Amino acid sequence: MATPDQQFPDSDDSRRKVIIIVAVIAAVAIAGLFYALMRSVGTGTTEVKLEGAIRPGSPEFEQYASKIVLDKPEAYQSKQALGGIVMNLQTVVHNFTGRTLSGLEIKGIVVDHQNKPVNQHDAVVVPSARQVELDNNRSMIVVVLLQGMTDKDDRADIRMEVSGFKFK
């Protein structure tokens, strides 16, 4: 009588081929998933704008923007695991408008030695989970995160400015 291996001599080879094919397909699928995640996380700089905000160019902006005072910003940078640089720009915003701010949009900018923007990002800081509104004669800390820079970028200076606001 023949042993099971002798009865089906191709079963081990065919089983091995199926396992290899399934492993290759799984590896390609996992690699594709990681690639898609890295692309979406690495370049995920969707701009959020404050709807209905008073913007530069309007007379009301010129009247009140000088009364929303920003301290000199500070920057903290760190390297990401994939080699990019992330910068946190931080300042304190003071509201001296005489009115309560129900919305505030701040722009963080990194400029090169020719004062050209290297990277910039608008962040809606009011309303947020921590700050629903900013009352008159009150202050708050604002942090704007800038991603996507490299060691080769000419980062000479940082700036933060008011890019939009709304009143209660």
- The full DSSP string for 78-97 is EE-TTS-EEEEEEEEEEE-S
Q: What is the spatial distance between Cα 88 and Cα 74, in angstroms, rounded to a whole number? A: 8
Q: What pLDDT shows up at residue 44?
A: 46
User: Considering only 77-81, 96-100, 115-119, which range has the smallest mean pLDDT?
Assistant: 77-81
- CATH number for the domain formed by residue range(s) 59-167: 2.60.40
pLDDT at 6 over 70: no
Q: Which band of pLDDT confidence, cut at 50, 70 and 90, is reported for residue 115? A: very high
Percent of the chain with pLDDT over 70: 88
What are the backbone angles phi and psi of residue 151, rounded to the nearest 5°?
-65, -25
Average per-residue pLDDT in the chain? 88
Burial of 104 (0-12, 13-18, 19+ CB in 10 A): buried
